């Protein structure tokens, strides 16, 4: 018998504030679009995408990335100033006796009576920490790559100067477009491309890991909601979870 089967009336507990809920769903939409376009870009050759088509896809990817960046940046700030369960101390797997809570939670899972939590449970905090780390890696490397590929802000001007060896002569940048090779300085362009190489590697591998973790995250949320019957999924729409007994946090 789980705690929610105890026959006691359920009590609603407010947990996710509006900012956290908006962040979550905007992030979901951005990641879906970024992942879909990213897969096409990675397989552009096999799919027969033209050079102009690939630039268009990268442009869509970059502009979606700006929305993703603004959304994630605001959530990072909100983690310091938001409501209690939105703050990093209640979200990340650190501090506040998290390791002790994790051991207690795992023992409860093994016995079939894991404690309930108003915010993220200790195992969930481990997943959320990993997801935020990967999302941040995608954001930072993506901003660099938008500059090296498309000469877009915030670093595009500097990369364009580097690739054309323009220095103070900004006339060399006039007419420079993504994919255009005529205005490029071979040595400067090669040096810039060498600089971007590790950013591509991090962007690609963090994407692969993220795509592996997201289905695990979704499955864990569904299973936890089925076990707890606390409205875990609906809470990301309504902001409230329901418990028959007071949750540990």
Q: Residue 54 has what pLDDT? A: 93
Question: Using an 8 Å Cβ cutoff, are 217 and 127 in contact?
Answer: yes
What pTM does this model have?
0.91
Q: Residue 6 has what pLDDT? A: 52
Record: fold of 14-243 = Fumarate Reductase Cytochrome B subunit (1.20.950)
Taking only the tens of pLDDT, the chain with its 249 residues reads 344 455 577 889 999 999 999 999 999 999 999 999 999 999 999 999 998 999 999 999 999 999 999 999 999 999 999 999 999 999 999 877 889 999 999 998 888 888 899 999 999 999 999 999 999 999 999 999 999 989 999 999 899 999 988 776 676 777 788 887 888 889 999 999 999 999 999 999 999 999 999 999 999 999 988 888 889 999 999 999 998 888 877
Q: Residue 166 has what pLDDT? A: 78
Q: Residue 1 has what pLDDT? A: 35
Report the alpha-carbon distance of residue 33 to residue 64 in Å, rounded: 8
CA 69 to chain centre: 9
Q: Residue 138 has what pLDDT? A: 97
Cα–Cα distance list, 74 to 28, 127, 214 (Å): 15, 20, 21
Q: Residue 2 has what pLDDT? A: 43
């Amino acid at each position: 018998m789980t705690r929610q089967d105890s026959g006691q009336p359920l009590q609603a507990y407010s947990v996710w504030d509006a900012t956290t809920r908006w962040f979550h769903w905007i992030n979901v939409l951005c990641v879906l679009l970024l992942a879909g376009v990213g897969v096409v870009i990675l397989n552009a050759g096999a799919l027969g995408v033209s050079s102009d088509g690939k630039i268009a896809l990268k442009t869509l990817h970059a502009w979606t990335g700006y929305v993703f960046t603004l959304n994630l940046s605001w959530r990072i700030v909100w983690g310091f100033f938001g409501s209690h369960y939105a703050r990093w101390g209640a979200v990340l797997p650190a501090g506040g006796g998290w390791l002790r809570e994790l051991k207690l939670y795992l023992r409860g899972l093994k016995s079939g009576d894991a404690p309930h939590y108003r915010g993220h449970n200790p195992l969930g905090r481990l997943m959320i920490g990993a997801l935020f780390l990967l999302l941040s890696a995608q954001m930072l490397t993506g901003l660099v790559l938008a500059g090296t590929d498309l000469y877009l802000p915030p670093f595009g001007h500097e990369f364009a100067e580097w690739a054309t060896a323009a220095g103070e002569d900004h006339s060399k940048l006039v007419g420079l477009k993504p994919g255009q090779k005529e205005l490029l300085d071979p040595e400067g362009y090669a040096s810039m491309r060498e600089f971007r190489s590790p950013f591509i590697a991090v962007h690609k591998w963090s994407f692969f890991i993220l795509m592996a973790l997201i289905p695990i995250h979704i499955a864990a949320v569904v299973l936890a909601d089925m076990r707890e019957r606390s409205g875990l999924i609906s809470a990301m729409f309504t902001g409230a979870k329901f418990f028959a007994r007071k949750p540990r946090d």
